[in-house]
Structure 1
Amino acid sequence: MQLNFRGLPALVTGAGKGIGRDTVKALHALGAKVVAVSRTDADLVSLSEECPGIQTVCVDLGDWDATERALGNVGPVDLLVNNAAVVPLQPFLEVTKEVFDRTFSVNLRSLVQVSQIVARGMIHRGVPGSIVHVSSMVAHVTLPNLSVYSSTKGAISVFTRAMAAELGPYKIRVNSVNPTVVLTAMGQKVLTDPEIARKLKERHPLQKFAETEDVVNSILFLLSDRSASTSGSDAGFTLS
């Protein structure tokens, strides 16, 4: 499947590492004009060296006011990938207010805020667009010590459908992908218990974990015109 994003403005959050970083690299290679957003400046510097010409924005998306200052006038964006997330590991009975607030601020609230900024710009310009949220299988299948993280991803599923319904009249599509464990540094945190890792792999229909390329390919498809009739989809590599 040949995809071409030449000249299309795109914004990717959580662009410093893992899925977000590889999404930026793929979009850049396919001709998109990419804005890469991360809270870690060193990651953005190295990413700029790999992808000359991209625009970088260093901001903590968990800070509403800082995000508004950094992205409020970001310019035209036709393609948005909401990938930024934190993954705290805490048993439910030990969940703290600080962890709860931080996780919801980064994983969910920033998704809403950045999507509002981008969608308002699309509507003002009268152009169609595509928004893809990077969710997780834990939106549907719970795992130990991930109650807060899972809750943010479950909420993303609802926001995906609600946004798709409200933005559809403006020809803005909204979808999400729900990968199983992806073999990134973040994903490895979930696999520290070998017994949990074994059970997860056994439950997957293909008996495997996902590579970042698998997820990036799904994101690119949903961003592209090849999925022009797809909106409100909350799908991916969920466990059976």
Structure 2
Amino acid sequence: MTDVRPRTPSMRLDGKRAIVTGAGRGLGRAAATALAEAGAHVALAARSTDEIDALAEGLNSSGLSAEAVTLDVTDLGAVEAAFARHEPFHILVNNAGTNRPKPMWDVGVDDYDLVMGLNVRSAYFVARACARKLIEERQAGSLIHMGSQMGHVGGQNRSLYCASKWAIEGMSKAFALDLAPYNIRSNVIAPTFVETPLTKPFLEDARFRESVLRKIKLGRVGQPEDVMGAVVFLAGDASALMTGSSMLIDGGWTAD
């Protein structure tokens, strides 16, 4: 009898090469760990070497495959050089980012340049460098950009951060259209507040934390592990027909 069952796409990433920016802590560290555990070789990119060296050592000692790549993604020359000297990366997690919460009337040019420079400018040119190498080598790929629920809604004292994350959403959709003929996909992961070194100072404020929890319908702040499955899904064959999309992992924040 012929077996007519559909074949479930593998969640494994064996033989794939991935690079994660801002890999030393928080969501970057979680994403890098998830990709390595799924079988990918992962390049851990960050400005500070101590954290990525320690993570690479830990992953390799567990029988996984990782390397530390010291890289300041705001240095566009260094970005181009890094991608030029490495084999193509089939998976990019465009994760490096920052925030300076302030009411819009207090946002200075230095704040704007810092947040938009890292969250948008650097993300754009990291993606460009990754895609160019894939196109040159005629290889398929998946670009995953770490957005935010704040790329779908507004937030008090977060006009600058919202601007950067709404930009990521539009950027990724346009990337998807440009890159589709080359079988390179582009998608966004948009989490709610996740407890990381970046958000910890804000979430330690009891009033702020309570205001956040009122909007997260599932009743808890996110953890880095909540994003790991989405990273693996978007990186591999299970999401092969998905591009130009955004995965909201927001506990229901944007549902009402």
Q: Same fold (TM over 0.5)?
A: yes
User: Match for 2:176 among 164, 185, 191?
Assistant: 164
Does structure 1 residue 85 correspond to structure 2 residue 77?
no
Q: Percent identity over the alignment? A: 32
In 2, Cα distance between the equivalents of 1:146 and 1:189? 15
Q: Could you say what the CA RMSD is over the residues aligned between the two structures, in angstroms? A: 1.7
Q: Distance in 2 between matches of 1:14 and 1:72?
A: 19
1:28 aligns with 2:60: no
Deviations 1:63-122 (A, max 9, x none): 222323333333211111100001222222221211211111111111111111111111
- 8 Å CA contact 1:63–1:105 kept in 2: the answer is no
In structure 2, what is the equivalent of residue 215 of structure 1?
A: 227
- Corresponding letter in the other structure for 2:73: L
What are the within-5 Å matches in structure 2 for residues 161-240 of structure 1? 161-238=173-250, 239-240=253-254
Aligned equivalents of 2:47 and 2:161: distance in 1?
Answer: 19
Contact 1:88 1:149 in 2 (8 A): yes
Aligned with 1:19 (options 27, 42, 63) = 27
Q: Does 2:44 align with 1:39?
A: no
Count how many residue pairs are aligned between Structure 1 and Structure 2: 240
1:141-180, CA deviations, whole angstroms, 9 ceiling, x for partnerless residues? 2223222122111100101111111111111111001100
Give the secondary structure class of the aligned counterpart of 1:34: strand
SS of residue in 2 equivalent to 1:195: helix
Q: Does 1:97 align with 2:97?
A: no
- Separation in structure 2 between the aligned mates of residue 231 and residue 69 of structure 1, nearest angstrom: 27
Is 1:74–2:82 an aligned residue pair?
Answer: no
- Please state how far the C-alpha of 1:192 moved relative to its aligned partner: 4.1
Structure 2 unmatched ranges of 5 or more: 1-7
Match of 2:144 in 1: 132
Instruction: State the secondary structure of the residue aligned to 1:105.
Output: helix
- Note closer, same or farther for the CA distance 1:206–1:62 as it changes in structure 2 (3 Å cut): same
Is the 2:84–2:133 contact (alpha carbons within 8 Å) kept by the matching residues of 1?
Answer: no
The amino acid of 2:40's aligned partner reads A
Q: Is the 8 A contact 2:38 2:232 kept in 1?
A: no
- Structure 2: which amino acid aligns with 1:22? A
Contact kept in structure 2, 1:62 and 1:102, CA below 8 Å: no
Please tell me whether residue 116 in structure 1 is matched to residue 128 in structure 2.
yes
Of the two, which has the highest radius of gyration? 2
SS at match of 1:176: strand
What is the CA deviation profile of residues 211-239 of structure 1, one whole-angstrom value per residue up to 9, with x for unaligned ones?
Answer: 11111111111111001111111221241
Q: What letter corresponds to residue 25 of structure 1 in structure 2?
A: T
CA drift at 1:41: 1.1
Instruction: Label 1:68 to 1:126 Cα distance change in 2 as closer, same or farther (>3 A).
Output: closer
Q: Secondary structure of the residue that 2:89 maps to in structure 1?
A: coil
Q: Residue type of the partner of 1:26?
A: A
Give TM-score scaled by structure 2 length: 0.88
Aligned to 2:119: 107
Counterpart-to-counterpart distance in 1, 2:110 and 2:197: 23
What amino acid maps onto 2:15 in structure 1?
Answer: G
Which sections of structure 1, spanning at least 5 residues, go unmatched?
A: none
